[in-house]
Amino acid sequence: MNTTAIALNGLRKEYGRVVAVDGIDLDIGRGEFVGLVGHNGAGKTTTIRMLTGQLAPTSGSVMVAGADVVQNPAAARAVLGTVPEHPTLYEYLSAREMLEFVAEIRGQGDVDWALGVAGLGADADRLIREYSQGMRRKTALAAALVAKPPVLVLDEALNGLDPASADRVVGVLNELRQDGATVVLSTHILDTLEKVADRIVLMENGTIVIDGGVDRLEAARERLRSAD
Amino acid sequence: MANPYIRVHRTIARHRGWQWYRLIPVLAAVAALPLVNDTWLGFLPKDSGVPPDAYAMALSVAVGRLSNLIAAAVILASYSALVRGPDRAVLDVHPIRARELVTAIARSTVKTQLYLVGLAGVILLPVAQASGFPVYGAALMLVVSAWAGALGVGFLVHLGGVWAAYSERLEGVLDALRGDNPRMQAALIYAPGVALVMVGVGTEFGSMGLAAWLNGWTLGLLWLMIPAGLGLAAWLGVGSLAHRYYVRASLLLAEVDGAWAHADESEHASRVYLQGLAGQRPELLRALRNGWRSHRLFATGGWVLGFLVLVVSWNDPASAAFWGAGAIAWVSGVAPKMASVDPRWLDDALGVRRSDVLVARAVVAASYSMGVLGPVGVSLSIRHGGVGATVALGLLGLTIVTAVSGAWAAGAWRRHAQWTYSAIALVAWAGFVRVWG
């Protein structure tokens, strides 16, 4: 049985002469919780956008659960739950309607559970256009989680969440991981990763400079600090 | 209802409520019609006893032009809905059933563009008065046929544009056409033009059919349906293209936007069109950047329209007034468009004076209109002397009126500014044609 959930092979992205991601290789196993860290501009978001099929690589390939995200985006999207850096939602739906819709197009989903995880229960029937930025981010997170997809890729998904909500979300991600889901979480909050991550990947200038267990977290922290 | 996308669009429409502002252009057309009627349909007889075959050719040409204008609006709307629409941004991270989604988008586009049929119905009312309802109905049928044809052809060609962008065989052609744009964007830029040519050919046949019917050939009525038939045939291919290219369009757009973001970082591209006008006025610099980076179609389209008007009105100052004024009214629409992506909270947070923003948007709109006014004004003055120069001066006055009213609408109405401005522009254009045409 293939135990690789995500495989990045020689992944490279160029914009003219600017190299945003410089030929990275990364294998992430099923059930792994990976913290993707790095300064702004290190290449995290570009990597995540290629990983989730929102951006085509200049060269290299991305496989998610055995499906090439460029050649077979439908198969890749079916197993991916994604929170992009700037999530977009239907402004004239309520969070509940949005999640019901996502559950329907994904063929399954537990709307009440996802609303509870995101802490949106009391506001679930208000229109999203009335939401604060934090509530919108919670809705996007709930939409990524609602069908409990086997691979979760979350770009700064904890930004804008209050500490209690962030703790609750991290707890749920940890539970999903224990049930076999793969989680890639891009974040600036390294303390969060210390509690749940199996593996830390630090990016700098489009390359991976640290890839190891949480015991490498202090080295990553030091490297980020020295780069400031 | 099996299609989840249609159901969600319905829910959105229910929450959004009735979009009353879409009636504004129709009401404006009612107000503008008496002003423009003598120029627009001046060939219609005052005496209803005159048989239609006496003015069949003029009527069919006028209705054909109106049909093409309506088709152009629908094609642009289909581009906005299909390629850059809200569904794509929301659904890019979810699995989609492309055929069903595109069907839902088409259905929404039909609903949002229905007002154009109402608009055409109003504009053609003098035909009913002069020639009776059968002739009016036939003229309106051609417009509706072009409207429907533009929907089908628009969807097909925009999806085909994605295919073209990825096609290795077309690389050379796209490189030749793209100018300063990223190669892959060239296919999207020219797709609306290709669609309009296709519908335009159908409309031309429909127009000939209308003339033939007015001259007594009954089967000419069937020809009116040629654009719609074209649209139906195109629609049959949409499902297959949607399946293959709807998702790939997202990758294409990400590539194009990424290329522009990179280009904007370079020293050369950091300067925008007419930046020298800004001087030390930061509001004007912001408006020029916003206009060029988000709405450059108005800047480049202004020049294209300017030279087109020059060609079609070389021998006729009245024609220059009619078409030139229309082009200027359209270009000044950049001001309300700018408001849609320029958040008010930013102005409030920065303590920017609203009057400065208004003036900046008006200056941008007026500057972009020079693309029309330049070629048309110069040709009028050279070709027709004093009479031409007078029309050119009138066009300059209209430029100021539409630029200021566009900027005012942008500040006062924000979300609905485009609709309010379209009403003002329509009346201003009609008034201008009444006086100068």
Interval B73-99: pLDDT, tens: 999 999 999 998 999 999 999 999 999
Q: What is the pLDDT of residue B10?
A: 96
Indicate if the pLDDT at residue B56 is higher than 70.
yes
Interface test with B, best of A98, A102, A126, A136 (most B CBs within 10 A): A102
Of the candidates B86, B93, B262, which has its C-beta nearest A84's C-beta?
B93
CB contact (8 A) between residue A101 and residue B8: yes
d(CA A80, CA A13): 21
CB contact (8 A) between residue A74 and residue B254: no
Of the candidates B12, B93, B97, which has its C-beta nearest A90's C-beta?
B12
Q: What is the pLDDT of residue B194?
A: 92
Contacts of B265 in chain A (CB under 8 A): 18
Q: Which two tokens stand for residue B67?
A: 């049909």
Q: What is the pLDDT of residue A55?
A: 92
Q: In this structure, are B216 and B73 located in the same domain?
A: yes
Of B243, B270, B297, the last residue of a domain is B270
Contacts of A93 in chain B (CB under 8 A): 8, 11-12, 15
d(CA B74, CA B209): 22
Token pair 């049928």 in the structure block, residue: B141
CB contact (8 A) between residue A73 and residue B247: yes
Query: Which helix (H) or strand (E) covers residue A16, if one does?
Result: none
CATH of domain A4-227: 3.40.50.300
Q: What is the pLDDT of residue B49?
A: 78
Per-residue confidence in pLDDT tens, chain A, 228 aa: 458 999 999 999 998 788 999 999 999 999 999 999 998 889 999 999 999 999 999 999 999 999 999 999 989 999 999 999 889 999 999 999 999 999 999 999 999 999 999 999 889 999 999 999 889 999 999 999 999 999 999 998 888 888 888 889 999 999 999 999 999 999 877 888 888 899 999 999 999 999 999 888 888 888 888 876
Contacts of B11 in chain A (CB under 8 A): 92-93, 97
The least confident of B35-39, B188-192, B356-360 is B35-39
Of the candidates A56, A70, A77, which has its C-beta nearest B95's C-beta?
A77
Contacts of A155 in chain B (CB under 8 A): none
Q: Which two tokens stand for residue B355?
A: 């009057």
Among chain A residues, the shortest Cα distance to B89 is held by: A88
Contacts of B248 in chain A (CB under 8 A): 73
Of the candidates B11, B97, B255, which has its C-beta nearest A97's C-beta?
B11
Among chain A residues, the shortest Cα distance to B13 is held by: A92
Residue of A41 and B152 predicted with greater confidence: B152
What would the mean pLDDT of B147-174 be, rounded to a whole number? Answer: 91
Q: What is the pLDDT of residue B329?
A: 95
Interface test with A, best of B8, B84, B93, B183 (most A CBs within 10 A): B93
Range of the domain at B264: 1-270
Indicate if the pLDDT at residue B264 is higher than 80.
no
Q: In this structure, are B351 and B225 located in the same domain?
A: no
Contacts of B95 in chain A (CB under 8 A): 74, 77-78, 105-106
Indicate if the pLDDT at residue B319 is higher than 90.
no
- Under the banding of pLDDT at 50, 70 and 90, the label for residue B270 is low
What would the mean pLDDT of B3-24 be, rounded to a whole number? Answer: 92
Q: What is the pLDDT of residue B347?
A: 76
Of the candidates A83, A88, A105, which has its C-beta nearest B96's C-beta?
A105
Q: In this structure, are B241 and B381 located in the same domain?
A: no
Q: What is the pLDDT of residue B186?
A: 78
CB contact (8 A) between residue A73 and residue B89: no
CB contact (8 A) between residue B95 and residue A74: yes
Contacts of A102 in chain B (CB under 8 A): 94
* CB-CB contact of A55 with A13 (8 Å): yes
Of the candidates B15, B250, B259, which has its C-beta nearest A127's C-beta?
B15
What residues of B are in the A interface, CB distance below 8 Å? 4, 7-8, 11-12, 15-16, 86, 89-97, 247-248, 250-251, 254-255, 258-259, 261-263, 265-266
CB contact (8 A) between residue A54 and residue B254: yes
Q: In this structure, are B266 and B320 located in the same domain?
A: no
CB contact (8 A) between residue B254 and residue A49: yes
Indicate if the pLDDT at residue B48 is higher than 90.
no
Proportion of chain B above pLDDT 70, given as a percent? 95
Distance from CA of A56 to the nearest CA of B (A): 6
In Å, how far are B40, B168, B333, B365, B425 from B404, measured between CA atoms? 26, 46, 10, 8, 11
CB contact (8 A) between residue B11 and residue A70: no
Of B237, B270, B303, the last residue of a domain is B270
Tell me the per-residue pLDDT of B390-416, one tens digit each, with 9 for 90 and over. Answer: 999 999 999 999 999 999 998 888 778
Contacts of A206 in chain B (CB under 8 A): none
d(CA B128, CA B136): 5
Secondary structure of chain B in HEC code, one letter for each residue? CCCHHHHHHHHHHHHHCCCHHHHHHHHHHHHHHHHHHHHHCCCCCCCCCCCHHHCHHHHHHHHHHHHHHHHHHHHHHHHHHHCCCHHHHHHCCCCCCHHHHHHHHHHHHHHHHHHHHHHHHHHCHHHHHHHCHHHHHHHHHHHHHHHHHHHHHHHHHHHHHHHHHHCCCCHHHHHHHCCCCCHHHHHHHHHHHHHHHHHHHHHHHHHHHHHHHHCCCCCHHHHCCHHHHHHHHHHHHHHHHHHHHHHHHHHHHHHHHHHHHHHHHCCCCCCCCCHHHCCCCHHHHHHHHHHHHHCHHHHHHHHHHHHHHHHHCCCCHHHHHHHHHHHHHHHCCHHHHHHHCCCHHHHHHHCCCHHHHHHHHHHHHHHHHHHHHHHHHHHHHHHHHHHHHHHHHHHHHHHHHHHHHHHHHHHHHHHHHHHHHHHHHHHHHHHHHHHHC
CB contact (8 A) between residue B262 and residue A55: no
Contacts of B247 in chain A (CB under 8 A): 53, 73-74
Q: What is the pLDDT of residue B292?
A: 87
- Under the banding of pLDDT at 50, 70 and 90, the label for residue B181 is low
Of B270, B303, B334, the last residue of a domain is B270
Q: In this structure, are B179 and B151 located in the same domain?
A: yes
CB contact (8 A) between residue B94 and residue A102: yes
What would the mean pLDDT of B39-47 be, rounded to a whole number? Answer: 82
Interface test with A, best of B5, B18, B84, B92 (most A CBs within 10 A): B92
What would the mean pLDDT of B329-355 be, rounded to a whole number? Answer: 84
Distance from CA of A6 to the nearest CA of B (A): 16
Contacts of B258 in chain A (CB under 8 A): 15, 55
Count structural domains, chain B: 2
Can you give the residue ranges of every domain in chain A?
A: 4-227
Q: In this structure, are B198 and B307 located in the same domain?
A: no
Interface test with A, best of B16, B19, B94 (most A CBs within 10 A): B94
Contacts of A56 in chain B (CB under 8 A): 251, 254-255
Mean pLDDT of chain B: 89
Distance from CA of A114 to the nearest CA of B (A): 16
Token pair 């190891």 in the structure block, residue: A212
Q: What is the pLDDT of residue B266?
A: 52
Q: In this structure, are B374 and B426 located in the same domain?
A: yes
Q: What is the pLDDT of residue B267?
A: 47
CB contact (8 A) between residue B4 and residue A104: yes
Residue of A51 and B190 predicted with greater confidence: A51
CB contact (8 A) between residue A15 and residue B259: yes
- Under the banding of pLDDT at 50, 70 and 90, the label for residue B42 is confident
CB contact (8 A) between residue A90 and residue B86: yes
Residue of B260 and A213 predicted with greater confidence: A213
CB contact (8 A) between residue A93 and residue B8: yes
